[in-house]
């Protein structure tokens, strides 16, 4: 029994591990985390989640509320302020009570529960910029996630730690945070012995760090280089998992929205756009026979649609990168960055045909729901390639709607939604970084004359934070009065 215990401890990462173990195939137990252990639908097996759908957080106890439900009462400024303060106090209490105890906690399940709690708190309760409570615990959170969870934790802890870092990137992402985490996340991605969901979550966290906090072309180009290695069929001498390749395409497309179109699908005397070089790999990914999960095909289709979108916006003369305005769709089809007559025309036609077949899929190998979702996703991509029509996405809020017509903004929306999940709307209403990215005003979008379900829970429910604070105050008052009575009765030292 002793030998089994020691073996189990080694596989769970109980011993001290240094950075070199990540790249040399040392301990870490990555092989023991199933791909179904994730709140990200990207890796779920058999559920056929598409790029346009969003996974639930049932495994982490995170649920989004219906923000379109209304109450007849009018929200006062005092109630809104009280709700914000209660939420902020909840965040401070959670971080203050759990972060210091993380390193000393011996139970893996308890540490994983702490990481899940931090993720939910950061995405749901960090609603007042500049996020002083998150900054106060910044170093401890980074240390807990990157050193303890990623190096010594079980695979479930490693995954949860990456998700917490991804949420931190949205809130306080900057160059310093990138410098602290880039090396560790990169080694986790490169560690072929790690569980696939862990490597995927590390890649997405790295992508979010660069997208939200880095304005440096050199760093962006380096992460794009890493993604281009990952989307290959072979990576570091082994076959690249399909889920990791899909994540590589998603991060590549996200970061491609931050560079000039010329470097994506243009050509000069000195260089060729990154997307043009990847066209053969895109074609290969779209033809992979993976009937249980189309996530790689969907990620590759999204990347191809964005490459085409960049080609259109470059204009007829892709050498200088100038944009040319045209009057109608017909002129756009044959004038704005047309593939016609170029050396990539055959590759683009082949990819378009593959997307057409996916958009008109038939047969019994897919469920009716999965088939409907697949057609919906690939018809949007097909519309981009054949008709040069970018899809439109409308996000409903209680005070209005956010309409996105640029394909790059839609790519960013999809990635951020997958990161924040149940906390997406509240973060978009309060996070200045996200508001700058999507060009919206949170005050306008969040304004309403009625209570949402979230506000009902925060203000009206007997289990709300505001009611809990009142109850604690009353309890302390009763206890104090009782102590005064007890002291009066026993003041002379004679018991009763």
Band (316; pLDDT cuts 50, 70, 90): very low
Contacts of 1 by beta carbon, 8 Å cutoff, 6+ apart: none
Q: Which among 129-133, 303-307, 389-393, 436-440 has the top mean pLDDT?
A: 303-307
Token reading at 125: 């309760």
Band (29; pLDDT cuts 50, 70, 90): very low
Is the pLDDT score of 13 beyond 80?
A: no
Residue scoring higher pLDDT (21 or 146): 146
Answer whether 141's CB lies under 8 Å from 119's CB. no
Report pLDDT for 451: 63
Band (263; pLDDT cuts 50, 70, 90): very high
Report pLDDT for 492: 64
Report pLDDT for 399: 75
Burial grade of 147 (CB within 10 A; 0-12, 13-18, 19 or more): middle
**How far is it, in rounded angstroms, from Cα 287 to Cα 285?**
5
pLDDT in tens, 344-393: 999 999 999 999 999 998 777 778 888 888 899 999 999 999 988 889 99
Band (232; pLDDT cuts 50, 70, 90): very high
Degrees, nearest 5: CA angle 477-478-479 = 90
pLDDT in tens, 449-489: 566 666 666 666 777 766 777 788 888 888 888 888 887 67
Report pLDDT for 366: 76
Residues 43-55 as b/e (b if ≥16 CB within 10 A, e otherwise) read bbeeebbbbeebb
Residue scoring higher pLDDT (444 or 316): 444
Q: What is the average pLDDT across 190-205?
A: 95
Annotation: CATH topology of 216-388: 1.25.40
Query: Which CA distances in Å does 197 have to 30, 142, 243?
Result: 9, 20, 8
Answer whether 185's CB lies under 8 Å from 162's CB. yes
Q: 3-class SS at 67?
A: coil
Query: Which CA distances in Å does 192 have to 41, 199, 223, 232?
Result: 22, 8, 18, 14
Is the pLDDT score of 78 beyond 60?
A: yes
Least confident of 110-124, 293-307, 337-351: 337-351
Q: Which of 24, 48, 43 is nearest to 199 (CA)?
A: 43
**How far is it, in rounded angstroms, from Cα 184 to Cα 18?**
11
Answer whether 32's CB lies under 8 Å from 24's CB. no
Q: What are phi and psi of 234, to 5 degrees?
A: -120, 135
Answer whether 294's CB lies under 8 Å from 312's CB. no
DSSP bridge pairs for 396: 401
pLDDT in tens, 389-439: 889 999 988 778 899 999 999 999 999 999 999 899 999 989 999 999 999
Q: What is the average pLDDT across 268-291?
A: 90
Is the pLDDT score of 56 beyond 60?
A: no
Report pLDDT for 84: 75
Tell the residue number behind the tokens 């972060």, with chain if given: 99
Q: What is the average pLDDT across 71-100?
A: 75
Report pLDDT for 362: 79
Is the pLDDT score of 75 beyond 90?
A: no
**How far is it, in rounded angstroms, from Cα 237 to Cα 239?**
7
Mean pLDDT score of the chain: 80
DSSP bridge pairs for 400: 397
Cis bond leading into 400, ω under 30°? no
- The H or E element that residue 49 is part of is none
Report pLDDT for 341: 84
Band (37; pLDDT cuts 50, 70, 90): low
pLDDT in tens, 136-192: 999 999 999 999 999 999 999 999 999 999 999 999 999 999 999 999 999 999 999
């Amino acid at each position: 029994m002793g030998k089994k215990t020691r073996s189990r401890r080694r596989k769970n990462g109980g011993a001290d591990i240094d950075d070199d173990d990540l790249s040399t195939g040392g301990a870490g137990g990555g092989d023991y985390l199933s791909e179904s252990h994730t709140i990200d639908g990207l890796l779920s097996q058999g559920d056929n989640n598409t790029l346009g759908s969003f996974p639930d957080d049932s495994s982490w106890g995170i649920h989004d509320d219906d923000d379109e439900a209304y109450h007849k009462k009018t929200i006062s400024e005092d109630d809104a302020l009280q709700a914000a303060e209660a939420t902020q106090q909840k965040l401070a209490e959670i971080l203050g009570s759990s972060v210091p105890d993380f390193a000393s906690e011996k139970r893996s399940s308890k540490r994983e529960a702490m990481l899940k709690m931090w993720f939910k708190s950061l995405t749901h309760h960090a609603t007042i910029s500049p996020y002083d409570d998150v900054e106060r615990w910044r170093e401890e959170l980074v240390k807990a996630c990157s050193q303890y969870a990623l190096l010594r934790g079980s695979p479930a802890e490693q995954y949860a730690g990456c998700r917490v870092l991804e949420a931190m990137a949205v809130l306080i992402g900057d160059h310093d945070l990138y410098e602290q985490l880039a090396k560790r996340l990169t080694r986790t991605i490169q560690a072929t012995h790690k569980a696939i969901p862990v490597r995927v979550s590390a890649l997405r966290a790295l992508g979010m760090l660069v997208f939200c906090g880095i304005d440096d072309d050199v760093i962006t180009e380096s992460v794009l280089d890493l993604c281009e290695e990952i989307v290959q069929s072979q990576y570091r001498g082994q076959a690249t998992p399909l889920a990791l390749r899909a994540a590589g395409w998603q991060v590549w497309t996200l970061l491609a929205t931050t560079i000039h179109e010329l470097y994506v699908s243009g050509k000069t005397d000195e260089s060729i756009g990154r997307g043009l070089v990847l066209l053969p790999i895109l074609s290969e990914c779209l033809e992979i026979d993976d009937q249980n999960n189309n996530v790689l095909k969907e990620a590759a289709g999204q990347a191809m649609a964005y490459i085409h979108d960049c080609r259109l916006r470059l204009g007829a003369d892709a050498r200088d990168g100038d944009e040319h305005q045209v009057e109608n769709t017909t002129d756009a089809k044959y004038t704005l960055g047309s593939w016609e007559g170029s050396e990539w025309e055959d590759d683009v036609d082949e990819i378009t045909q593959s997307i057409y077949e996916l958009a008109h899929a038939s047969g019994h190998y897919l469920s009716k729901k999965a088939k409907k979702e697949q057609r919906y996703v690939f018809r949007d991509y097909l519309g981009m390639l054949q008709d040069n029509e970018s899809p439109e996405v409308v996000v409903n809020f209680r005070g209005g709607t956010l309409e996105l017509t640029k394909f790059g903004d839609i790519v960013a929306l999809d990635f951020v939604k997958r990161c924040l999940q149940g906390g997406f709307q509240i973060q978009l209403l309060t996070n200045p970084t996200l508001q700058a990215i999507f060009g919206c005003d949170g005050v306008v979008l969040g304004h309403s004359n009625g209570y949402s379900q979230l506000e009902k829970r925060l203000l009206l429910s007997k289990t709300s934070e505001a009611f809990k604070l009142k109850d604690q105050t009353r309890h302390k008052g009763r206890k104090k009065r009782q102590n005064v009575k007890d002291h009066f009765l026993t003041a002379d030292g004679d018991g009763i």
